[in-house]
Amino acid sequence: MFTDKLYLETKDSHRVVDKHPFVSLIRNNKLAGEMYINFNKICIHEIQNVLTLKDEQLYNKLYRDFDVPEIFITQNLSTLLQHCRTYPLESAYQFYLGLLFGGNMLKRMIPEHTDFLTYDNNKELSNEFKMYLCNNVTDEDEFIQHVNEAYTIIKSVFDDFYNKFNRINSYTSLDVQETRQLDGGPGTYPDPDTGLF
C-alpha cells in the first residue's frame, strides 16, 4: 500500500520536525501555540487555493474555513508556501493529516482554536484520504521526495519561529526594576507593602 511506503520513507524527516524545540514550546506556551496555529492556517490557505481532488466530497470534508492570519513571511516560510502551491497534494497529505492526527491533542493545548482543529470522524476521514492517495498518486517516488523536501523546509521555518520566540521572550522577561538605566527612580514602582506609589 502506497501510504505505508510513504510513511516509512518520510518518517525520519518527519521525526526531525516533531522533535524540534519549537514543537516542545507549543505544549505549554500560548504564544508558541498561536504561532503554530497561524503557520498551519497560512499553509492550508495556500494549499486550498490550488488543490483539486477528483473526489469533490472528500475535498469538502477536508476543507477548512477560517480567517487568514496576518503574519510576517520569512524567506523560509515563503519557500514553504511556494512548495505548497507547487505540490498541493503532497502538502495536503502533511497538513490535513497533521490536523486529523494531532488536532485533538492541540485542542487541549489551544482550546480557542477548536473550530479550526475539529473534524468529524477523524479516523474515517484520514483513512479515506490515504486511500485516495493510494488510488491517485502516479509517481510514488517523486511524491515521497516532495514530502521529504517540505519537511526540510518546515524544519527551517521552525528554526525561525524558535529564534523569534526566544527574542520575544527575552524582551518580555526583562525586569525593569533590576535594570538601572531603565529605573525611573523613587515613586516609579508601587511600594511592595502598601501598593502605593
Q: Which residues of the chain have pLDDT under 50?
A: 174-197
Cβ atoms 79, 106 nearer than 8 A: no
Contact present, 67 and 149 (Cβ < 8 Å): no
Q: How far is the C-alpha of 25 from the C-alpha of 3, rounded, in Å? A: 30
The cell numbers describing 54, all together, are 477528483
* pLDDT recorded at residue 171: 62
CATH number of 2-182: 1.20.910.10
Give the CA distances from residue 16 to residues 44, 47, 61, 107, 155, in Å, rounded to whole numbers and listed in that order. Answer: 21, 23, 29, 23, 7
Instruction: Please give the radius of gyration of the chain, using alpha carbons only, rounded to the nearest integer.
Output: 21
pLDDT value of position 15? 96
43 CB contacts (<8 Å, ≥6 apart)?
A: 80, 81, 84, 91, 95
**Distance between terminal CA atoms of the chain?**
71
SS3 19: coil
- Phi first, then psi, for residue 192 (nearest 5°) are -65, -25
Domain edges within the chain: 2-182
Other beta carbons less than 10 A from residue 5's beta carbon: 14
What does the pLDDT read at residue 166?
87
pLDDT of residue 172: 55
DSSP-derived letter for residue 142 is H
